[in-house]
Amino acid sequence: MLRSSCLICASSVEPFISFGKMPIANGFLTAAQLADEYFYELDVVFCPTCGMVQLGHLVEPEKMFHENYAFFSSTSTRMAKHFEQFADSVAAVLSPRSDPLVVEIGSNDGIMLRHFAERGTRHLGVEPSKNVAEIASSRGVRTISRFFDEDLAREILEQHGPADAVLGANVMCHIANIHSVVAGVKRLLKPEGVLVFEDPYLGDIVELTSYDQIYDEHVFYFSVRSLSALFAMHDLEIVDVQRQPVHGGSMRYVVGHEGARVASARVVRQTAKEAELGLGEARTFVDLRERIERSRGMLRQALDSLRAGGNRVVGYGATSKSTTVINYCGITAEHLEFISDTTPIKQGKRSPGAHIPVRPYAEFQRQYPDYALLFAWNHSQEILAKEGDFMRQGGRFLVYVPEVHLVDSDQA
C-alpha cells in the first residue's frame, strides 16, 4: 500500500505520480536470473508540510546494495575529476587542523577518499556494497562494508574519535532511515565539524523533466527547504549550498551544528528561488506529471518510427536512470538492438525489466548504429566529445532531456 505519511515530518503526503511495476534499477540479470526478477511499484508522493518529495513504496536496502552492486563510481573520467576537486576543497579547509578525521558515507570504489588517503589524512569509508568496497580497500582507502546509521556512528566515534568532516555524494537521498543517519552524523561531528554532501536537485528535475532520476535507490528528491526541515529536527543547519553541474544538476549542502557557523546568503536566496519555482506546491507536481507523460509519448513515437524505418538503434550507457525510462515508456529489444556500457559487471547481462542485452562498448565501436539513445545524458559533454567518429559517419544521438531531440555532428 502507498505510504500515507512523510518519512521526514510524519504529516500526510499527497500522491504525485505512479510509474507502475519496476525492477531494481541496477538489477542487471544473468540468463539464469531472468525468470524470478523482483518488481515493486514505483510511486512518488509529495509532502505539502515539509516539502519532501519521496518514494511511496520502499525497496529493502539489501536488495539494492550488496556484493554484486553494478554502479562503479570511477567509470566516468569527468566524475573522477569532480571528486578530486570536492576532496581538494574539503582538504583546504581541514589543512590547519591537527590530525583531522574524514568519514565518507557511500564511498563506493574510493573515487573521493583516495585523495585523502594519498595525502595521509585519517579517513574512513562506509560502503555496504562489498564488491565496490573491496576495490576501495585495494586502492589503500580504509573502508568498512556496513550501512551507515546511528549505531555505526557510535562505533566509529568509539574507535576513531569525532570527525572533522562527514562527506557523502549521491547517497543521502538513497537512505530511507535518514533520521538515524542524520542523528549519527550529529553525534559523530566535532563542534566545528561539517557534513558536506551532494545529491540530484529537485529544482533541476522539475526544470528539466528529468524523471529518470526517479528509481528505487532514490528514496528522496531533496530541496533546500525540505532538508532544512530535516536538519532542524536534529539541531543541525544548512550553512551553505552550491549548485553542481553533475548528474544532470546536483546541489551540494554544507551542514553544521545549529548556531556554530554563519549561514551564507546563498541558503536564503536558494530557498526563495525554490518558492518562486513552486517546489512546495502541489500544482508544480501536477504540471510535472503532465510533462513526463508527454515526454513518454514523444520518445515512444520517435523510437517506433525509427524501428519502422529499419534503422539500427542502440542504447548508450546502461544507467540506473534508464531502467525507469525503458520500463515506463515500454522500450523493448525490438527498439534497441543492445545497450552499450563500459562497466564489465553489466556486460553480457540483460537490462532490468525489459531484458535488453547489455554489451561492451567495443560492440558499439565495431559497427556504429544509425542512432544511439543517450541514456547517460548526464555525461553528454564527455560522451559527445569522444563520439566524433560516430557522428561524422552520420550517427545521431536521440536524447530525451529536457525534451526529445536529436543531436548530430553539427550540434555536438
Q: Quick one: 150 or 281, whose CB is closer to ligand SAH? A: 150
Number of H helices, E strands in the chain: 14, 17
* Among positions 143, 145, 378, 380, the unique one binding ligand TYD when judged by CB under 6 A: 378
Stretch that binds ligand TYD, among 16-24, 70-78, 116-124, 330-338 (CB under 6 A): 70-78
Which does residue 128 bind out of ligand SAH, ligand TYD, none, counting CB within 5 to 8 angstroms by kind?
A: ligand SAH
C-alpha cell at 125: 569509508
CB of 62 to ligand SAH, least distance (A): 10
Give min distance, CB of 73 to ligand TYD, in A.
8
Instruction: Work out the angle between the directed axes of helices 265-277 and 224-232 (0-180°, nearest 10).
Output: 120
DSSP state letter for 47: -
Nearest approach, Cβ of residue 200 and ligand SAH (Å): 10
Among ligand TYD, ligand SAH, none, partner that 383 touches (CB below 5 to 8 angstroms by kind): ligand TYD
Q: Is the peptide bond before 162 cis (omega within 30 degrees of 0)?
A: no
Quick one: 321 exposed, middle or buried, by C-beta within 10 A (0-12, 13-18, 19+)? buried
Residue identified by cell 557522428 is: 391
Site membership for ligand TYD, residue 320 (CB under 6 A): yes
Pull the grid cell for residue 293: 507523460
**206 is a site residue for ligand TYD (CB under 6 A):** no
CA distances from 84 to 5, 115, 197, 381 (A): 39, 7, 14, 18
What residues make contact with ligand SAH under the rule CB under 6 A?
61, 65, 69, 71, 73, 105-106, 108, 111, 126-129, 132, 147-148, 169-171, 174-175
Choosing from 54, 75, 244, 347, the residue that interacts with ligand TYD (CB under 6 A) is: 75
Residue 244 CA from chain centroid, whole number: 13
- Residue from 239, 231, 84, 287 nearest 169 by CA: 84
Residue 382 within binding range of ligand TYD, rule CB under 6 A: yes
For ligand SAH, the closer CB: 79 or 326:
79
- Comparing CA positions, the residue from 54, 20, 4 lying closest to residue 285 is 54
Residue choice 114, 252, 321, 355 for contact with ligand TYD (CB under 6 A): 321
